Amino acid sequence: MKDFSGKTAVVTGGGSGMGRELVRQLVAEGCAVAMCDVSARGMAETQRLCEAAGLPQGLRITSHRADVSHEPDVLRFRDEVAQQHATDRIHLLFNNAGISGGGSLIANERTEWERTFNICWGGVYLTTRAFLPMLRAADEAHIINTSSMNGFWASVGPDTPHTAYSAAKFAVKGFTEALIADFRMNAPHIKVSVVMPGHIGTGIRDNSLRVQTNTDADGLTAPQIAQIRARLASMGRDPSKYSDGDIERMHAERARRFVTDAPTSAADAAKIILDGVKADRLRILVGPDAQLIDRMVREDPDHAYEPEFYERFAAAAGWYPGR
């Protein structure tokens, strides 16, 4: 699919980060877009940015509030897309929605662990299932599933558990690759790509905390502070040493640095993804750190989870301590 003009795309997680930039760049190329997110406020900002840049004549961009881990929401989203875009087909499905959290199977609450897994993996499965008839009805179609560098390397450091997110992203990668033979036999006009970003400058820290605690409020709430304390405990740190003010300042600084110190911006990531789709690439590695760790893990898989391996990678990638 060399040209997105005149096509219809569905983007999950369109209210922020890479999802927002995918929407903006698709619209700029003349592609109609239906986006979903749990944040109506986030989607309104995405839509405002698209309109400020100028929408091509007659192009439709619609927003739909949906939790991709909840199948009734996903099915309602699909039906709204069909109705509001007056179509029975879509050409592009970007399964982009995701959150972090649930790092430890032991120290973190089961609800947090499963919330992360069910959005990052379950959302991909449910949304693909829901929109598959509309993809099959198109003359050409492409599914783009966002995994992560943590879909082939389940670590963000030897002292930071990362089980829920990594397990989900491994599942996304395996699912996408398994679809190749399935579609070759049963729907040869549908292509697939798996996106594996490294550290991208997005607001995933704040967004994940809001989703995990079911609040869209500015500033940290008591449940959010409690969740951060649990995360510190899972990393072997004593949370009682920190006041609530300390926790808020720590979170704000880490969220700021996650954006400012990222080697790849959300806008650059979206361009890499869209270029990869046009080139019909199966694996779309996003960012120099993703490229680096892919090579390092392939070269030395038996030592990929040892502290010395992480230190070599972090030094070469320029990752800051406590990322």
Half-sphere exposure of 149 (CA within 13 A, CB side): 24
Residue 261: alpha-carbon gap to chain centroid? 19
> Average pLDDT for residues 231-238, to the nearest whole number?
83
Domain borders along the chain are 8-205+265-317
**Polymer length in residues for the chain:** 323
Using alpha carbons, select from 287, 285, 286, 289 the residue that is nearest to residue 318. 289
The percent helix, strand, coil of the chain (3-state, each to 5) is 55, 15, 35
pLDDT-derived band of residue 226, with 50, 70 and 90 as boundaries?
confident
Q: Look at residue 217 and tell me whether its pLDDT is greater than 70.
A: no
CA angle 134, 65, 113 (to 5 degrees): 95
CATH number of 8-205+265-317: 3.40.50.720
Give residue-wise pLDDT tens across range 13-69: 999 999 999 999 999 999 999 999 999 999 999 999 999 998 888 899 999 999 999
143-160 pLDDT, tens digit per residue, is 999 999 999 999 999 988
pLDDT on residue 239: 86
Question: What pLDDT is attached to residue 321?
Answer: 62
Global pTM value = 0.92
What are the residues facing 61 on neighbouring strands? 33
**Whole-number mean pLDDT of the chain?**
93
Of the candidates 23, 6, 39, 11, the one whose C-alpha atom is nearest the C-alpha of residue 204 is 39
